[in-house]
Amino acid sequence: MIEVKNLKKTFASGDTQVHAVNDISFSVADGQFASIIGRSGSGKSTLLSLLGALEKPTSGSISVGDQDITKLHDHALISYRAHKIGFVFQGYNLVPNLTALENVMLPMEFAGVPKKDRLERAKALLSRVGLSDDQQLRKPARLSGGQQQRVAIARALSNKPKLILADEPTGNLDSQTGEMIFELLHELAKTENTTIVTVTHDLSIAGKTDKTFRLNDGKLVKK
Ligand SMILES: Nc1ncnc2c1ncn2[C@@H]1O[C@H](COP(=O)(O)OP(=O)(O)O)[C@@H](O)[C@H]1O
Ligand SMILES: [Mg+2]
């Protein structure tokens, strides 16, 4: 369960202040797939960065499981990002000189998982998201956009996170491939009991998620 309470993030811009996230409260249950929609500049990416503990809020709290992540420091924060969160980005962000398999193994290496287990889990995850044995040994440049995003999703799942955060994960894909990627995320939310929060521009996709939040100027608009 993620519980966000009175969350605010204010940026100073010259002598004015931008209330990027302006007193937002909501919750998402374990295994739920939630989407965030809203115009450019409405605060979607800022909200994801706060949920991923990439940025500190100006005020408010974010509980993930039984932890208030806004109170974590240093080691606990690094550990939270490494073990509890998986990130998926619009541009896939795979390491170009590593194979698909090595890309998925990498976060497990940082988390101290033994090599044999890393390899086994990475193979299983890549099969799970639909990559053949041959494709698993290719570098990202030799995979299609949809396949690269599948690798990124497998990588996000590698450390069995409680929460997956995705920022416009289908933004670079054609609509049919995008829909398949969303179906995959939806399925994984259920089978892995992972909460997924995704930002999307695609209203037809947002309409199919368990919960949709609309942001407007940093405020949550009830749907
Ligand atoms: N690091 C920053 N410094 C100053 N202003 C920022 C920063 N990040 C975001 N903003 C501002 O906060 C608002 C929300 O931005 P963002 O979360 O990126 O919106 P979205 O992802 O919905 O397009 C915008 O007005 C943006 O200019
Ligand atoms: Mg954004």
What count of residues does the chain have?
223
Q: Ligand 2 mean position to 43 CA, how many Å?
A: 7
Q: HSE (CB half, 13 Å, CA atoms) of 33?
A: 18
Q: Please write the tens of the pLDDT for every residue from 58-108.
A: 999 999 988 899 999 989 998 898 889 999 999 999 999 999 999 999 999
Q: Is 20 in the pocket of ligand 1 (CB under 6 A)?
A: yes
Q: Where are the beta strands (DSSP E) in the chain?
A: 2-13, 16-28, 33-37, 59-64, 67-68, 85-89, 163-167, 195-199, 211-216, 219-221
Topology, domain 2-221: Rossmann fold (3.40.50)
Amino acid, res. 120: E
Q: Ligand 2 mean position to 171 CA, how many Å?
A: 11
pTM: 0.91
Q: What CA–CA distance (Å, rounded) separates 100 from 98?
A: 7
Q: Please write the tens of the pLDDT for every residue from 114-152.
A: 999 999 999 999 999 999 999 999 999 999 999 999 999
pLDDT at 92: 95
Sign of CA dihedral 179, 3, 222, 43: negative
Token output for 92: 């896939």
Q: Which atom of ligand 1 is nearest to the CA of 39?
A: 22
